[in-house]
Structure formats: structure tokens, C-alpha cells
Amino acid sequence: MPILLRLVTRFDTIASLMDDETKLYEIGYLLLPMLSEESVPAEMEAIRGIVEKQGGVIESAEVPKSRPLAYPISKKIANKRQEFTQAYFGFIQFKVISEVVPSIKSEIEKLDNILRMMLVETVKVVPVVRRIPTPQIDTELKPESVKDVSKESKTVEPLTSEQIDKEVEGLIAEVL
């Protein structure tokens, strides 16, 4: 078999495997709060790199933001146990074949700045759009409901300054 044909066949096999066997996963993670704001995106990129290195395709991600924790979480850092009540929370959704998920999880858990993480299989969330019913409008005009405005038009004469002053005084008297 020629080399080019072998490569194309191998690529087609990988592509078909990716389409047939990929599942959507989500990693929710907490980063240590002692990280500087500038280093947080780099930590997120490290996690993305682990996923992409294993053949994962990123669907969506959120840059970690500092959040208060619902309860204190402790972690041993430099042989000293520390408790945290604040952390940077972020998530990444990605598609990957299920065989590589355990290795992705173990690699992310080895990162020093991860306080806690959770990797779960998920489903794509499609926002539900609620349609508001619109009232039915009667498009047919009935002859009795149509008025001839041209015959009923009145001519309006402009007001004089005395009439305007009298109207204003009447309105002021009503307010007081």
C-alpha cells in the first residue's frame, strides 16, 4: 500500500473514531487563591494543553474567577496543611474518546496549583427559548368599522396669548 494512501486511511479511521466514540466532558476546577491574577490564565492554558495533548477538542471554557467557597478546603502545600475559603473557579468543556479520560484526570490532579477538580461526562446544553404567544389580528376590515375621516375633519384655530395664559392659570389653581 502506498504511503500516502496509508496516511489517508489512517487519518480517516481516526476521524471516524473521533466522531463515533467521542463524548462531551467537563472539568470544573479550583485554583489556589494565592496565585496572582496574571498567572491564572496560564494555569487554565496548562489544563487546556493537557486536554488537547490527549486529543481532546475544546468546546467551551471560562477563565477562572475568584469566588468564596461554600466551606473551607484544606490542602498540603510544602509539608504544611493550609485551609482555603477562597479560590479561583473555572471550567472547560471538551470532546474526547473515553479511553483517555483517566489519564487527563490524573495529569490535571498532579498540577501544583489545583486545589480541587472534578471531571464528569456531560451533555450539550441547548438553551430553551420560550415563545410568547402573539394575539391573532383580524386582517379583514369590516365596512361598518371603517370611518371616513376626511368628512369629519375639523379646522383647529391657533390660541391667542390671553387664552394660553388663562389655561395656565387654571392649571396652576388646580394644583394648589
Which residue ranges make up each domain of the chain? 24-121
pTM for this one? 0.60
- Residue range 88-112: mean pLDDT, rounded: 94
Q: Please, which residues bridge with residue 83 across strands?
A: 74
Q: Please, which residues bridge with residue 97 across strands?
A: 22
Q: Quick count: other Cβ atoms within 10 Å of Cβ 23?
A: 13
What's the CATH class of domain 24-121? alpha beta
pLDDT of residue 143: 58
Residue 172's pLDDT band (boundaries 50, 70, 90)?
confident
pLDDT of residue 14: 47
- Rounded to the nearest 10°, the torsion over CA 56, 61, 63, 67 is -110
Pick left, alpha or beta for residue 55 (phi over 0 → left; psi -120 to 50 → alpha; otherwise beta).
left
Whether residue 104 has pLDDT greater than 70: yes
Measured CA to CA, the distance from residue 74 to residue 87 in angstroms comes to 11
